Amino acid sequence: MSAEHGAGDPAPDPVPGPTAMPGPGAGSGEPVTITVCPDGPLLVRGGYELLDGDDRPIDPGRATVALCRCGASSIKPFCDGSHKRARFRAR
Ligand code: FES
């Protein structure tokens, strides 16, 4: 499984939440990039900080996270790959 992909590539495999490999990016001060996966999640990389609805930090446990934008994930805010089963279409 790889979280790296380019524009136009198929949606990547899901990047699960805190059980995944930790990475050095989150909170590092690195520039943040958000990649919109076609019909899939938003991949967030760099020095982001992830907060819940009450502005409390969520530990992503990794440098790159995939955030669900289809609403079908069972591990929100993270993508669990359910967008494929739900046949999510962003357009
Ligand atoms: S975008 Fe992947 S489960 Fe929602």
Q: Is 2's pLDDT higher than 80?
A: no
**Span 32-73, pLDDT tens digits:** 999 999 999 999 999 999 999 999 999 888 889 999 999 999
How does DSSP assign the chain, residue by residue? --S---TTSPPPPP--STTSPP-S-TTS-PPPEEEE-TTS-EEEESS---B-TTS-B---SSS-EEE--SS--SSTTB--SHHHHTT----
Residue to mutate (ligand 1; options 15, 35, 70, 89; most atoms within 8 A of CB): 70
Whole-prediction pTM value? 0.72
Architecture of the 14-91 domain? 3-Layer(aba) Sandwich (3.40)
Q: Residues enclosing ligand 1, CB less than 6 A?
A: 14, 40-41, 68-70, 72-73, 79-83
Ligand 1 centroid vs 55 CA: distance in angstroms?
22
CB 72 within 8 A of CB 62: no
